[in-house]
């Protein structure tokens, strides 16, 4: 079967998405599940068919999502409405929209989507927590022994007080 010539193919837009918190690891399939659920809840099945969202790649800290051209705003609304991926609370922040993957990949190379992270221990409110520090100021705390518990999001200055 001959492939469709480029002039007959539908134009697409690619959106670079930052995944917060950066220590959360996910795969394309899980992320697609969360995005599809969000887009379907907002725009219904016909909207989902019109937007045709797809997760091209997902890694620690970022993902690339695709949609049909002129449906970017609907995709961004769908991304903004995602608050959980699986059981983990997340935020999907759109960083850049482009017509080619190459432009987004160059943005990934320039940007700080996978910040260096340091793990350790920290005391806060009289309790000892496991801590993950990144981007100089940000510190996320996990209560020891309760990995499934929601983390606390603080800054280095908060821990010094």
What minimum distance in Å lies between the beta carbon of 60 and another protein?
Answer: 16
- CB 125 within 8 Å of CB 143: no
Euclidean distance between CA atoms 10 and 26, whole angstroms: 29
Euclidean distance between CA atoms 161 and 55, whole angstroms: 42
Nearer to another protein, 12 or 138 (CB): 138
The reply to whether 158 sits near another protein by the rule CB under 8 A is: yes
Euclidean distance between CA atoms 144 and 161, whole angstroms: 21
- Structure token pair of residue 121: 């221990």
Interface stretch with another protein, choices 47-55, 79-87, 98-106, 113-121 (CB under 8 A): 79-87
Q: In 10 A of CB 4, how many CB atoms? A: 9
Nearer to another protein, 6 or 157 (CB): 157
The reply to whether 48 sits near another protein by the rule CB under 8 A is: no
The reply to whether 41 sits near another protein by the rule CB under 8 A is: yes
Binding interface with another protein (CB under 8 A): 20-21, 41-42, 73-74, 76-77, 79-81, 83, 89-91, 93-94, 137-138, 150-155, 157-158
């Amino acid at each position: 079967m001959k492939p469709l010539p480029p002039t007959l193919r539908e134009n697409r837009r690619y959106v670079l998405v930052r995944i917060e918190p950066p220590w959360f690891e996910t795969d394309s399939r899980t992320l697609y599940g969360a995005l599809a659920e969000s887009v379907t809840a907002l725009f219904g099945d016909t909207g989902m068919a019109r937007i045709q969202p797809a997760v091209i790649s997902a890694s620690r800290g970022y993902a690339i999502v695709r949609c049909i051209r002129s449906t970017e705003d609907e995709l961004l609304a769908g991304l903004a409405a995602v608050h959980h991926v699986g059981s983990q609370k997340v935020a999907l922040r759109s960083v850049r929209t482009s017509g080619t993957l190459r432009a987004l990949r160059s943005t990934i190379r320039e940007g700080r989507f996978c910040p260096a992270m340091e793990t350790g221990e920290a005391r806060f409110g009289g309790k000892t927590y496991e801590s993950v520090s990144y981007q100089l100021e940000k510190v996320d705390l996990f209560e020891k022994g309760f990995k499934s518990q929601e983390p606390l999001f603080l800054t280095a200055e908060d821990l010094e007080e």
